[in-house]
A and B are shown apart, each in its own frame.
Chain A
Amino acid sequence: MRVLAAMSGGVDSAVAAARAVEAGHDVTGVHLALSAKPGTLRTGSRGCCTVEDSRDARRAADILGIPFYVWDFAERFTEEVVETFVGEYAAGRTPNPCVTCNEKIKFEALLEKAIALGFDAVCTGHYARLSVSDGVPELRRSADDHKDQSYVLASLTPEQLRHAMFPLGDSRKPDVREEAAERGLAVAEKPDSHDICFIPDGDTKKFLENRLGERPGDLVDAETGAVLGKHTGVHGFTVGQRKGLGIDAPAADGKPRYVLSLEPVSGTVKVGSSEELAVSTIDADRAIWPSEQPLSGPTECVVQVRAHGGMAPAVAEADGDAVRMSLREPLTGVAPGQVAVLYRPDAEAGDVVLGSAKIAATA
């Protein structure tokens, strides 16, 4: 196959590309420049599309002996990922930009370009197991529980998955680092990336304030309706948040208060106790079925509502594009805008992704 390896400059995508080469594919490396004004050197907790990352990717490609190019996707990334991220927060939702990037950039804009240019697949360093039999993809959790990225890939369509390649799915991160060192890849010791790549200092609140300005509103007790304080914008809050609410007086019952809901039009942020935060029903829409099998009738599954943690057994039922999940154990911090991913547990070969959908409402 002709394979386009997306190379971020990190260890995972470098080893993934190396494995694609070793499997006999005709591999070309591409580094996506996603930042309109790339910093000259890595800054903050994460380097993303800096000059240094681009150079690291280039050096890895040199070692692998594959052609390498840098493609400018900064405009498309700004439009599809950054502006969506800001817009979602402004609308009182909590987006996951990595999901959007996989869905719209790596496996849409990049994949479409790759296919048009004669490639058969896009290869990345994601930790998830992907197999395709008789043209039907099956996406499972990674062999490395800590690194599993099936959650951020579960929004890919079957057609996208048919052209995806995740050579690290069966591996554990320490083994990948060791392999990188054995292959002479200088990125073997490069630190893992964290946080959101386009907010290198990790200060999401400041980032949003710079773009959205102040949109003052009230902090309201969900039970009594009493105004507890003022805030500078709903985009500063996420459902389930406890810290930084800016309420001086303690609750009457002395218990900590959490953000329960965000109402962008009125600017109201409702807060209440952790009991009120617990949800037992999740309604989601924009369902995607990676293996082209929509749920038929009520289905026992495990639901995951954010990239790390937030899992509960549930019964899910689909109605066209919409999915209702009745949780067998309540979950807290379930934020509209996040993705709910449905898994069929399989301890042996990795939980199977049944589908995913975007959380619209909770009860």
Chain B
Amino acid sequence: MTYLDHAATTPMLPDAIAAMSDAMSTVGNASSLHSSGRRARRVVEEAREVVAEALDARPSEVIFTGGGTESDNLAVKGTFWARRDADPARRRILVSAVEHHAVLDAVHWLADHEGAELTWLEVDECGRVRPETLRAAFEQGHDDIALATVMWANNEVGTVNPVAELAAVCAEYEVPLHTDAVQAVGGVDVGFAASGAQALTLTGHKIGGPYGVGALLLDRSATAVPLLHGGGQEREVRSGTLDVPGIHAFATAVRVSVAGRHEVADRMGKLRDDLIAAVRAEVPDAVLNGLPDDSPDRLPGIAHFTFPGCAGDSLLMLLDAKGIECSTGSACTAGVAEPSHVLTAMGADETAARGSLRFSLGHTSTRDDVDALARELRGAVDRARQAGLAGMRKQKQEA
């Protein structure tokens, strides 16, 4: 099997599996006051220090959560509520058009139910939010802004945003910036303090940790209204019994993936360049989306292509049948591959947005994976082209 979907989830690191199994065989609620409780709490607090150190944050800024979606929701909704509570005029959210659904749907929910107003930050044709775009949004008026949210690196096309520059603009207007760094951690240098962001989302299963555990880094000066109420764990921002084995394994994955990021990124970057070259050799009219392949502001593991005339779901099925696993981007709950909102925001038309595939590499990827794709890709594209865009309106298919 050729697994080219590491951006969806990547295999757990052996160290993380070992950490998880170790912690699973010991009892202890980290909130209990006896020896077992203290032992469990110690594991959690050590994990907090590990995560903080790896990401240039203070331990008190690390809030463990149930993963990226929860962290995004907590950051966006919690910050919105807290800022609005402090000043009812603050109802506007600046949000990039290429965010993950965990952010997009959260801000839409706030608009629908909490009276939030959304100002969309356009991206350039590479999928990047430019600082001047953010500044222009502030110059329209800033007293009513609750927060800004811009992802560190895009999960579909792999474009890395200038987060520190964006945060500096936000700081001028004293507005907090949240950044979803789920894809960035372990791929590029991520430092919380140096970034200037007030909140940063990360999750375990993208970096070799377990599913269902992640963290929100929340600046000590920032407040967030909790989504979950209960025992008051995690600075009273995230109640719920702490998942000791998950947190231990997650912190292990953060430590290993961040420490090894240069070596892995170097290796993955070379493989990705090979993959891009192979795709271009086999399908010369394939279009690489995002930044140019020699740009330093690309995630090392992602190569996202549009294959003109093909439906992404046809390609995915044909490659899957040959043992090659990749992704069309996001799918709805029913499993329908949706046209990518990221590509649409970058200016692509709907047929291009439906005719795209993401290949993503990770710590277990090898040259064999690239070779396997190169062997099968042309045949799959030829067939997918014959099948065309059957599900769409006829006039669109002819266009």
Contact = CB atoms under 8 A, between A and B. Distances in A.
A69 B313 contact: yes
Contacts of B391: 71-76, 109, 113
Contacts of B394: 76, 79
Contact of A54 (B314, B320, B334): B334
A117 interface: yes
A67 B337 contact: no
Contacts of A75: 391-393, 396
A51 B390 contact: no
Given A76-B391, A79-B394, A67 B321 contact: yes
Contacts of A69: 313, 316-317, 335
Interface in B369-399: 383-384, 386-388, 390-394, 396
A78 B393 CA distance: 8
A117 B318 contact: yes
B388 A116 contact: yes
Contact of A110 (B313, B318, B333, B390): B390
B265 to A, nearest CB: 33
Contacts of B392: 75-76
A112 interface: yes
Interface string B309-337: 00001101110110000000001111111
Interface string B146-185: 0000000000000000000000000000000000000000
A72 B312 CA distance: 11
A70 B393 contact: no
A31 interface: yes
A182 to B, nearest CB: 27
A257 to B, nearest CB: 42
A174 to B, nearest CB: 30
A11 interface: no
Nearest to A73: B391
A31 B332 CA distance: 14
B357 to A, nearest CB: 14
A6 to B, nearest CB: 13
A40 B333 CA distance: 9
B-side interface size class: 20 to 34
A31 B331 CA distance: 14
Interface string A12-45: 0000000000000000100101000010100000
Contact of A70 (B336, B384, B386, B390): B336
Nearest to A76: B391
Nearest to A55: B334
A51 B333 contact: yes
A132 B103 CA distance: 54
A238 to B, nearest CB: 28
Contacts of A31: 334-335
A270 interface: no
A50 B394 CA distance: 24
A17 to B, nearest CB: 16
Residue among A67, A72, A73, A113 facing the most chain B CB atoms (10 A cut-off): A72
B396 A70 contact: no
B272 to A, nearest CB: 27
Nearest to A4: B317
A70 B332 CA distance: 10
Contacts of B396: 75
Contact of B387 (A38, A50, A55, A116): A116
A244 interface: no
A117 B383 contact: yes
Interface in A56-80: 58, 67, 69-76, 78-79
A72 B387 contact: no
A67 B320 contact: yes
Nearest to B385: A116
A109 B390 CA distance: 6
Nearest to B384: A117
A250 interface: no
Interface string A63-100: 00001011111111011000000000000000000000
Nearest to A50: B334
B337 A72 contact: yes
Interface string A215-248: 0000000000000000000000000000000000
A76 B321 CA distance: 26
B383 A71 contact: no
A70 B335 contact: yes
B335 A54 contact: yes
A297 interface: no
B388 to A, nearest CB: 7
A74 B318 CA distance: 22
Contact of A76 (B332, B386, B387, B390): B390
A51 B383 contact: no
A117 B313 contact: no
A79 B393 contact: yes
B383 A72 contact: no
A28 B386 CA distance: 19
Residue among B334, B383, B384 facing the most chain A CB atoms (10 A cut-off): B334
A51 B334 contact: yes
A320 interface: no
B334 A116 contact: no
A254 interface: no
Given A28-B321, A78-B393, A117-B386, 20 more contacts: A38-B332, A51-B334, A54-B334, A54-B335, A58-B335, A67-B320, A67-B321, A70-B334, A72-B391, A73-B391, A76-B391, A79-B393, A79-B394, A113-B314, A113-B390, A116-B386, A117-B317, A117-B384, A117-B387, A118-B318
Interface of A: 28, 31, 33, 38, 40, 49-51, 54-55, 58, 67, 69-76, 78-79, 109-110, 112-113, 116-118
26 contacts: A28-B317, A28-B321, A31-B334, A31-B335, A38-B334, A49-B334, A51-B333, A51-B334, A54-B335, A55-B334, A69-B335, A70-B334, A72-B313, A73-B390, A75-B392, A76-B390, A79-B393, A79-B394, A109-B390, A110-B390, A113-B387, A113-B390, A116-B383, A116-B387, A116-B388, A117-B383
